[in-house]
Structure 1
Amino acid sequence: MIKAVHLALVFWVLSIFLSGCSKNEKLIVGFADAQKARIGVMTGSTGEAVAAKRFPKAQVKSFDDIMDAVAAIKSGQLDAIITLFPAALQVSKKNPELRILPEPLDFEDTAIAVRKDNDQLLATVDRIVAALKADGTLADMEKRWLKPDLSPYQELDVVPLRQGKILKIGVSATREPFSFVDDHGRVSGFDGELARIIAVKLQRPVEFFNMKFMALIPALQSGKVDLIISGMTATSERKKTVNFTQPYFANKQVMLVRKPAVAPLSTVSDRSELSTLNSLKGKRICVLPGSAGEMAARQKFSGSQFQVFTAAADAALAITTNKADAFVYDKSVLLNLAEKNPELMILDQAVDKLEVAAALRKDNTALLSEMNKALQSLKQEGELQRLRTKWVDTKYTATPQLQPAKAVHTSGVLRMGTCANLEPFSFQSNGIITGLDRELSQLLGERLNKKIEIIDMNFEALIPALQSGKIDFALSNFNVTEERKKLINFSVPYITNDISVLVRKTGSSATTAAPSFFSDLVTSFQSNIIHEMRYLLILDGLKTTVVISVFATLFGTLLGALICFMRMAKSRLLSAPARLYIAILRGTPVLVLLMLIFYVVFASINISPVIVAVIAFGMNFGAYTAEIFRTGIEGVEKGQTEAGISLGFTRTSTFLHIVLPQMVRRILPVYKGEFISLVKMTSIVGYIAVQDLTKASDIIRSRTFDAFFPLVMVAILYFLISWTLMQSLEYLERITDPKYKKRKAGRA
C-alpha cells in the first residue's frame, strides 16, 4: 500500500512539472501569421475543411472536444484553434489569456439533422423551427445563451411529457453554451432548451444521448437517435447522408489565439509618463474586437501589446487592477467609464476622429435611402443635437428616461442589432435597453412608420448578423471606417466622436500577488468538484466504470473459457471457428468493435449502451483470455492428466482437481495485466453515449476549461480502481499457491 501511495505521489509531481512544459509559442495577430502555424480543429467538424482550405501549409491537429484543444494551446502545443463562434466565445470568457480574432473565417448555417427516411418528422420539425424563428423565440434564446459575460444563464422552464413515444436526441454536451451538462446532471444550453421545446410541441417525452460529436451521424443513421441537435452545420457532404431542417442559428467559424504575454506590472513612476500618445508605445493596450478603436490603436501603436476584451467595463477593470495600461475606444464611452472610476482619466490628445452612423446590409439600398432622409430630418429639427446633449455631454447620476414614444401606425417590423454594454449609446438599465442609440431607433421608427425590434448581441457579431439577414440595421456606436465600407453600407452620420485613450491617473497604484500552488489547488478543487455539485458527475462516472469493468471481466472470462475449450478440441468444426474468432477479435481495435456492435449489430434494438459496452469489452477480453487459458493448460504436463485417469478420476474431475489449480496459478500474473488493460480501455465508452469516469471529466472540463485538475484526478481514480481490483486478484493468487496453504496450515 505504501509503495502504491509513493507511486501516486511521484505521478502527481511529474504531472505538475510536465504540465508546465511547452513548445516554442507563435504569436498570431492575423490570418497571415497562421499560414504555417499549428492549428487545432474538432474531429468531424467543418473546421477541418476550413483549416485545410484557408491554411494548406499549416499543421492541423484534430481533437475530440474543444477543451482538449484549449489545453493544448495553453500548454504551447498549438498556436491557434478553429472552431464555431459560440464555443470560442465561451472559451475566451473562461480563459482570459485567449482571444478571438475579429474577422470570421467562414459563415455557416446550424440546423437539426434528421434520418434520410424520416420525411414526416423532418417536415414537422421544420415547421416548428420556422414558427420559433417567426415569433422571436430563437432570437430570445440566442440573447440568453450567447452572453458576453459569465453571469448565470436564464433557462426557460420547459417540461416535456413523461408518457408516450420517446423523442431521442443526440448531443455532444461538451460545447457550452450550445450543449452542456448543468449542475443537475441534465443536458442544458441553447440546444438542450430547443430540444425540449420541440419535444413539447410534438407532445413526446425527450431523452438525450450524450456522445462524441463524430459518433452523432452514425447514431442517427442506425436509429439510435431521432434527431441531432448539437450545433451541427448543414454541409453538402453531410446532406448526402442525413437530412437537415432549415437553419435555426447563423454561425461562423473563427480563430482562437493566445493573447500577447502580459508585460511586467508598471510602477507609479511609469504611470506618470502615460500623458501623451507617444508614451503609450510598447505598453499594454486594451481594445474591443472589430471596433474602430482597435483598428486605430493597432495602426498608431504597432509595437504595443494588445489585450482584446468583449466589454468596455472589463477593459476598464484591467487598467484599475494594473493588468493593462490603456484602453483605446470611443470618447463618449470612455467619459462614462472615467466618471464611474475616479482613478481613471482620458488623455487630452485624441487618436482619431470618426463619424458614427447606422449600419445596413449592402443590398438594402431602399432602407438606406429612407433612413438617410429620416436622419437628415432629425438633424434639421435639432433632435440629434438634443440626443447628444442628453446622453453624451451631460454627466448624469441617474439614467435619463427615454422620450415617450408617439402613437403612430406601423407597417411592418425592422430588426435592429445593438451591443447593449456601451453606455451611453446602448446599455441595460432596470432590465431594459436604453441609451442614445435606443432613443434614436425609437425616433427612426416613428419617421419610417415601422415597429423597431431590438436584438442585443456581441459587437463583433453585428456585421455577420447584417450580412446573413438576421437584422435589418445596426445602431451601436458604429464608427464609419473604410474597411467596414467594403462589407456594409452606412447611413449619413448622426454624431461625430473622438477615438481617445483611457489611462490610470498619476499616483494610482494597484497591487497584485500571484496565487500560491496550494491556493490554486484549493480553487481548482472548488471549481471542478464542489461547484454545482460536480462531484456527483464523478461518482456516477465512477460507478459506471466499475460496473462495466467487473461485468465485462466476468463475461469475458466465461466466454474465454468456452473459446479455449473449442480451440483445444480435436474436431475442426469446433477449433476452426475458435481460431477465427481469436484472430478477428485480437486484430480489431476495441473502439471499432464497440461502435460496430452499437451502431450495426444492435442498430434496430433498443438496448442500453452500458450493456453494449459490457458485451464489446467482454468479447475482446474473451479473445485474449482464451489464449491465456490455453497456454496455462498446455503448461501442465500431460502425464498428470494420464495419472489422474489411472487413479480412477474422470477426465472432468482430473481437470478440475489437478490441472485447473495449477493452470490458475500460472496464468494469474498475465490475467491481471489483461484485466488492468480492460479497465483502462473503458475510457472510450463515451463514443456510444455512456457517461463513465472519463466522460465525466470531459463534461467538467467543458465547463471549467481546467485541463490539469480533472485529468489528474481521473488518472488517480483509475489507479485506485485498478489497484483495488488488483488486490482481489492477488488474494486469489495467494490462496491458490500451495506454499501459502502450507504456511496457513502450519500456523493453525
Structure 2
Amino acid sequence: MKKKLFSVLAIIMMLSAAGCSSDNNSKVVESIDDLPGASIGVQLGTTGDIYASDYEAPEYGSTVERFNKVTDAVQALKQGKIDCVIADEQPAIASIENEASLVILDEPFALEDYAMVVAKDNDALLEDINGALAELQADGTVDSIIANYIGDATKGKSPYVIPEGTTYENGTLVVATNAAFKPYEFYEGNDIVGIDIDIIRAIGDKLHMNIEIEDMEFDAIINAVSSHKADVGIAGMTMTEERAKSINFSSPYVTSKQVMIVKGNNSSAVEASFIAKIKQNFVENDRWIYILSGLKNTLIIALCAVILGVFIGFLVGVVRVTHDKAGKLPILNTICKAYLTIIRGTPAMIQLLIIYYVVFQSVNVSKILVAVIAFAINSGAYVAEIMRGGIMSVDNGQTEAGRSLGLSYRQTMIYIILPQAIKNVLPALANEFITLIKETSICGYIGLMDLTRGGDIIRSQTYEAFLPLIAVAIIYLIIVEILTVLVGKWEKSLRKSER
C-alpha cells in the first residue's frame, strides 16, 4: 500500500511540474465579433449559459462548454481547452485575481439585473422581502454593503452591522445559495459571506427572522425554492423571462454585466512553487477543515448506507430465492422485482434528487439522513442480487441435507445456506461498499458537504483545480486501500475456519 501511495505522489509531482500545454488550434478572442467559431466556457444554468447558447446555432458554429463553477471554466481557459469564458463581472474579476495570463475584455457582453427568487405560491413572503429591500435601498444599506466588497477605495470599510434591538421572533428564513460566486457569496473560513449574504441578512433583520444559509449547486436553487426546501434563493441570479415561468423574482437589488475572460499576452507570469500551492490550498485560512468535514460526512453516510443497504438487500434476496426455489411469496417477489428494475435502471443522482425534492418535499429532515436513505435504497438493489447469486451458488445438496435432518426451510436457510453464501459473496459485498463510498460524491447536488464538495469549496476560493482534486482523489484511494486490506484479512480468517 505504501509503495502505491508513493508512486501516486511521484506522478502528482511530475504532472504539477510539467503543467498543461495550450491547444495550438485555439482561436484568439478579442471582441464579441470573434465569438463565432470559438469554444466558449460558461457556468451551467447562468445567464452567460443562456446568452452563449445562441452561438451554438449553425450560422455561428461555436461550441459551448458548460461547467458547474466559473472557476472550472477559468481553469479550462488557462489550460487552453476553451477560447474564452463568459461570466458575471465581479466573479470574473475575482477568478482571475491571481492569474496574470488571463484578462477581461473591456467590451461588456450584456447587462443584467440581479434579484432574489421566491416560490410562485408564496406571495406574502415576496411582498415582505420587496418591502424590506426597498427600505434598505432607500436608507443606503444596500449601497454600503456593495461598497464593502467592491472597489479598492471602499472594500472592507463598511461591514453590515445588525441594528441594535433587533429581535427574531418571526422564525427562520431558509436561504438557498451557491457559495462559489465571489464577491456575492463565498466561503470565509467556515462561514458563507458576500454581498448577497449581507443583503439577505439585512432583510432578515428587517423582518425579524433568523437566516439559515443552504449552499448547493447553482442549477438546484430554483428547484429548492419551488419545492419549499428553501424559502428564498439569492445567488447573483439574473431576472429572465424563462426563469419567471417557474419562480417569482423580487425587485432587483444590483445591476451587473456579463464579460468575457480571454488569454492575455503576459508571458512573464510567474508560476507559484508546488509547496506554495499546498500552503495556499490547504494551510491558509485552515482550508484543510473543508476536507476533514467532508470526509467525516462521507464516512458516516457510506457506513450507515451500507448497513441499511445490506439489510434491505438481504431481505429482497431471500424473498427472490424463496420464490425461485419454493415458489412461495409471489406478491412480495413481484414487488422486489419492480424495486430492482427501477433502482438498477436509474442513476443514483436522480434517485437522490427525487428522494430529497419529491419524497421529502414537505418534510424538513437532515440531509445526511436523506443521503443515507437514498444510497441505502440504491445499494440494497445491488446487494440483493449479490446475495441471491451467493445463495443460489450453494449446492442444492446442502438444502436437502438440512431438510433430511429435520430442519425447516427457514432453519436450513439460516444455519446452513446463508453462512456459506456470505463467504461466497464477501468480495462482491466489499466491492459494493467501495462503490458506495465513491458514489457519495454526488451529495453536493442537495447542498450536503461531502469529501468531494470540500475540495470544490477550496477550488472556489483558490481558483486552483489541480491540488484540491488530487487531494480528494488520494483520500478516496487511501480509504479503498484500507478496505481492501481489511476484507482480505477477513477472507483469510474465514478460510482458516473452514479447515
Please give the TM-score of this superposition, normalised by the length of structure 2: 0.92
Partner of 1:695: 453
| 1:572–1:165 Cα change, 3 Å | same
> What is the CA–CA distance in structure 2 between the aligned matches of 1:563 and 1:10, rounded to whole Å?
46
**Secondary structure of 1:606 counterpart:** coil
Q: Does 1:677 find its partner at 2:435?
A: yes
Partner of 1:350: none
Shift of 1:53: 2.4
Q: Does 1:556 find its partner at 2:309?
A: yes
Q: Does 1:595 find its partner at 2:353?
A: yes
Matched residue type, 2:9: L
Matches within 5 A, 1:68-467: 68-147=72-151, 155-158=159-162, 165-183=171-189, 185-262=190-267
Match for residue 582 of structure 1 among 322, 340, 365: 340
Shift of 1:13: 4.8
| 1:86–1:544 Cα change, 3 Å | same
Partner of 1:566: 319
Shift of 1:614: 0.7
Kept in 2: contact 1:661–1:736 (CA 8 A)? no
Unpaired segments ≥5 residues, structure 2: none
Of stretches 141-150 and 197-206 in structure 1, the one that deviates more from structure 2 is 141-150
Matched residue type, 1:230: A
Unpaired segments ≥5 residues, structure 1: 264-322, 324-513, 743-748
Kept in 1: contact 2:101–2:267 (CA 8 A)? no
Matched residue type, 1:59: T
> What is the CA–CA distance in structure 2 between the aligned matches of 1:695 and 1:173, rounded to whole Å?
11
> What is the CA–CA distance in structure 2 between the aligned matches of 1:676 and 1:101, rounded to whole Å?
47
**Secondary structure of 1:94 counterpart:** coil
Matched residue type, 2:2: I
> What is the CA–CA distance in structure 2 between the aligned matches of 1:119 and 1:14, rounded to whole Å?
57
Partner of 2:392: 634
| 1:623–1:678 Cα change, 3 Å | same
**Secondary structure of 1:174 counterpart:** coil
Kept in 1: contact 2:147–2:155 (CA 8 A)? no
> What is the CA–CA distance in structure 1 between the aligned matches of 2:4 and 2:157, rounded to whole Å?
43
Partner of 1:619: 377
Kept in 1: contact 2:145–2:160 (CA 8 A)? no
> What is the CA–CA distance in structure 1 between the aligned matches of 2:253 and 2:400, rounded to whole Å?
76
Shift of 1:667: 1.3
Shift of 1:661: 2.6
> What is the CA–CA distance in structure 1 between the aligned matches of 2:22 and 2:407, rounded to whole Å?
67
**Secondary structure of 1:81 counterpart:** strand
Match for residue 720 of structure 1 among 473, 478, 481: 478
**Secondary structure of 1:175 counterpart:** coil
Shift of 1:41: 0.9
Kept in 2: contact 1:544–1:693 (CA 8 A)? yes
Q: Does 1:61 find its partner at 2:65?
A: yes
**Secondary structure of 1:607 counterpart:** coil
> What is the CA–CA distance in structure 2 between the aligned matches of 1:148 and 1:87, rounded to whole Å?
15
Kept in 2: contact 1:170–1:225 (CA 8 A)? yes
Matched residue type, 1:201: K
Higher strand share: 1
Matched residue type, 2:309: G
Shift of 1:600: 0.5
> What is the CA–CA distance in structure 2 between the aligned matches of 1:617 and 1:576, rounded to whole Å?
22
Kept in 2: contact 1:168–1:226 (CA 8 A)? yes
Please give the TM-score of this superposition, normalised by the length of structure 1: 0.62
Kept in 2: contact 1:676–1:722 (CA 8 A)? yes
Shift of 1:695: 1.1
> What is the CA–CA distance in structure 1 between the aligned matches of 2:23 and 2:435, rounded to whole Å?
31
| 1:206–1:220 Cα change, 3 Å | same
Matched residue type, 2:203: I
**Secondary structure of 1:36 counterpart:** coil
Matches within 5 A, 1:26-45: 26-45=27-46
Shift of 1:619: 0.7
Higher helix share: 2
> What is the CA–CA distance in structure 2 between the aligned matches of 1:196 and 1:240, rounded to whole Å?
27
| 1:158–1:703 Cα change, 3 Å | farther
> What is the CA–CA distance in structure 1 between the aligned matches of 2:476 and 2:8, rounded to whole Å?
11
> What is the CA–CA distance in structure 1 between the aligned matches of 2:397 and 2:23, rounded to whole Å?
62
CA RMSD of aligned residues (A): 2.2
Matched residue type, 2:171: K
Partner of 1:509: none
**Secondary structure of 1:83 counterpart:** strand
Partner of 1:521: 274
Of stretches 169-178 and 648-657 in structure 1, the one that deviates more from structure 2 is 648-657
Kept in 2: contact 1:211–1:690 (CA 8 A)? yes
Matched residue type, 1:78: I
> What is the CA–CA distance in structure 2 between the aligned matches of 1:652 and 1:675, rounded to whole Å?
28
> What is the CA–CA distance in structure 1 between the aligned matches of 2:448 and 2:424, rounded to whole Å?
35
Q: Does 1:541 find its partner at 2:294?
A: yes
> What is the CA–CA distance in structure 2 between the aligned matches of 1:153 and 1:724, rounded to whole Å?
50
Matched residue type, 2:145: M
> What is the CA–CA distance in structure 1 between the aligned matches of 2:374 and 2:82, rounded to whole Å?
35
Kept in 2: contact 1:111–1:245 (CA 8 A)? yes
Q: Does 1:2 find its partner at 2:2?
A: yes
Kept in 2: contact 1:113–1:243 (CA 8 A)? yes
Q: How many residues align?
A: 488
Deviations 1:460-515 (A, max 9, x none): xxxxxxxxxxxxxxxxxxxxxxxxxxxxxxxxxxxxxxxxxxxxxxxxxxxxxx66
Shift of 1:578: 0.6
> What is the CA–CA distance in structure 1 between the aligned matches of 2:18 and 2:316, rounded to whole Å?
44
Matched residue type, 1:691: M
Shift of 1:665: 2.1
Kept in 1: contact 2:148–2:154 (CA 8 A)? no
> What is the CA–CA distance in structure 1 between the aligned matches of 2:397 and 2:345, rounded to whole Å?
35
